[in-house]
């Protein structure tokens, strides 16, 4: 073997170092922001690692914030020319982000709208405007009923309820109270602050024979006989002899994770967190049907979008990153890590995924799910939180409180659509 002389070695080393520095100088760094949820952070770390390996000239830096602070941080950073180049947002926030000029439409050449329509689940079409999509999800989600298998086994109950009536019966059997009548173990968690406001709108209202909105979600329609029956059913869950309690252990998911609730309605995104809860034994099944077998569910999703901060080479890098995080590979990683369902049937409806004992109930739920088109998701959720609090804290009748809520939400919708 011929040895390189010291002078040649020095030249080679200098050349190598020069190339390395040149590569570093030419590298593009973009920022990605999402709210903090442990399983989501883990999944995105894996996606970023894979993307950077395939694109060594691009570096992606992830920043995350607590959910309560997230929207405020995004709204302040982007107009100042700071913060994310690619941002994650709840689909119900899209109109707010567009109105505030926080995001820009995806380029039609890289994200052809007709191709997206053909390859993704139909619910993502809410992100389309004309020939452009503004954002796209890696995953979608639906609701299902989680149940504590240890509590069920100890009570001699063979399996989870299939109907709403069975849920009430089993919930009553599994609810425990102290001497003062306070719940110590809930049969079912409750909380409009969590997923119950979705369950009410797209689940219970439809199961009781109604339709929550008309005119493509521009007209409130739950202040009806069906909506009243649905809300009375829900409020009854937390009555003195009910199976749950608003505010029990602060958050519904906290009660279930602590083993203090037998059943809990939540989204598929909760799977990763529950898997990491030591000592918790749980199963999952589809949302209970009515006595005649009628099922209804809610579907939603978080999307990724390119912000108005991204320009030039950062914009080009952001487009590449968006293409990867909406790929089949990324969706399978997200499913395995977070538990949220792939946004494409090509991934979600494989035999392995559709028949999975954990993912399967959520995937089957997509077949009869509806997606609420929010104009302001947080404000519309708060209206239902206030509805229940007026009944619980002020003693108002369900009918009167429901009417107030419907009027308030309609005013919100009217204001938005009048300006759009």
pLDDT tens, residue by residue, 139-159: 998 999 999 999 999 999 999
Q: List beta partners, residue 176.
A: 185
| pLDDT of the residue at 240 | 85
Dmax (CA) for the chain in angstroms is 93
| C-alpha neighbours within 13 Å on the C-beta side of residue 110 | 19
Using one digit for the tens of pLDDT, what is the confidence trace for 24-35?
456 899 999 999
User: Domains of the chain, with CATH numbers?
Assistant: 29-141+300-366 (3.40.190.10), 142-299+371-418 (3.40.190.10)
pLDDT at 7 over 70: no
Pairwise CA distance, residues 61 & 82, whole Å: 13
| pLDDT of the residue at 22 | 44
pLDDT band at 21 (very low <50, low <70, confident <90, very high): very low
Using one digit for the tens of pLDDT, what is the confidence trace for 72-96?
999 999 999 999 999 999 988 898 8
| pLDDT of the residue at 18 | 47
Across 177-181, 332-336, 409-413, the highest mean pLDDT is recorded for 409-413
| pLDDT of the residue at 363 | 87
Pairing type for strands 86-90 and 28-35 reads parallel
Using one digit for the tens of pLDDT, what is the confidence trace for 172-215?
999 999 999 999 999 999 999 999 999 999 999 999 999 999 99
Pairwise CA distance, residues 84 & 203, whole Å: 35
Q: List beta partners, residue 369.
A: 297
Under DSSP, is residue 61 helix (H, G, I), strand (E, B) or coil?
Answer: strand
Q: List beta partners, residue 59.
A: 29
Mean pLDDT of 212-233: 97
Distant-in-sequence, close-in-space partners of 398: CB < 8 Å, separation ≥ 6: 228, 231, 232, 235, 391
Cα–Cα nearest to 330, from 67, 60, 117, 114: 60
| pLDDT of the residue at 25 | 54
Pairwise CA distance, residues 150 & 162, whole Å: 19
Pairwise CA distance, residues 407 & 387, whole Å: 11
Task: Copy the structure tokens of residue 35.
Answer: 């709210």
Percentage of residues in the chain with pLDDT exceeding 90?
74
pLDDT at 23 over 70: no
Which segments within 309-365 are labelled E, that is strand? 341-342
Sign of CA dihedral 392, 396, 398, 402: negative
| pLDDT of the residue at 11 | 46
| pLDDT of the residue at 213 | 97
Task: Copy the structure tokens of residue 278.
Answer: 């030591």
Q: Taking the mean position of all CA atoms in its chain, how far away is CA 110?
A: 25
| pLDDT of the residue at 15 | 47
| C-alpha neighbours within 13 Å on the C-beta side of residue 18 | 6
Task: Copy the structure tokens of residue 329.
Answer: 């590979």
pLDDT at 5 over 60: no
Higher pLDDT, 153 or 353: 153
């Amino acid at each position: 073997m011929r040895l390189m002389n010291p002078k040649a070695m020095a030249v080679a080393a200098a050349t190598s170092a020069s190339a390395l520095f040149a590569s570093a100088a030419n590298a593009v760094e973009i920022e990605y922001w999402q709210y903090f949820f442990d399983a989501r952070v883990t999944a995105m770390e894996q996606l970023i690692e894979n993307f950077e390996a395939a694109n060594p000239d691009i570096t992606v830096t992830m920043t995350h914030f607590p959910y309560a602070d997230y929207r405020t941080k995004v709204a302040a950073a982007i107009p100042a020319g700071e913060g994310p180049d690619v941002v994650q947002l709840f689909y119900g926030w899209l109109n707010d982000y567009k109105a505030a000029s926080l995001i820009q439409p995806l380029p039609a050449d890289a994200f052809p709208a007709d191709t997206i329509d053909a390859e993704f689940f139909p619910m993502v079409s809410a992100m389309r405007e004309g020939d452009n999509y503004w954002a796209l999800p890696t995953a979608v989600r639906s609701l299902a009923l989680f149940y504590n298998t240890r509590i069920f086994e100890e009570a001699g109950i063979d399996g989870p309820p299939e109907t709403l009536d069975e849920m009430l019966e089993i919930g009553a059997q599994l609810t425990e109270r102290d001497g003062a009548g306070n719940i110590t173990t809930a049969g079912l968690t409750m909380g409009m602050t969590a997923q119950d406001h979705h369950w009410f709108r797209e689940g219970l209202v439809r199961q009781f024979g109604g339709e929550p909105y008309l005119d493509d979600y521009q007209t409130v329609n739950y202040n009806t006989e069906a909506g009243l029956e649905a809300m009375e059913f829900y409020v009854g869950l937390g009555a003195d002899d009910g199976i749950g309690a608003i505010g029990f252990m602060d958050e519904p998911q906290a009660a279930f994770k602590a083993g203090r609730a037998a059943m809990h309605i939540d989204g598929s995104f909760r799977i990763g967190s529950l898997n990491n809860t030591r000592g918790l034994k749980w199963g999952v099944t589809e949302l209970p049907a009515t006595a005649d077998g009628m099922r209804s569910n809610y579907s939603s999703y978080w999307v990724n979008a390119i912000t108005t901060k991204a320009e030039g080479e950062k914009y080009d890098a952001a487009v590449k990153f968006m293409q990867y995080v909406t790929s089949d590979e990324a969706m399978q990683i997200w499913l395995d890590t977070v538990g949220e369902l792939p946004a494409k049937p090509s991934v979600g409806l494989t035999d392995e995924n559709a028949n999975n004992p954990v993912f399967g109930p959520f995937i089957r739920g997509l077949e009869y799910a509806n997606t609420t088109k929010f104009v302001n998701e947080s404000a519309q959720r708060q209206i239902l939180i206030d509805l229940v609090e007026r009944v619980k804290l002020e003693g108002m009748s369900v009918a009167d409180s429901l009417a107030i809520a419907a009027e308030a939400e309609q005013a919100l919708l009217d204001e938005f659509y009048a300006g759009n």
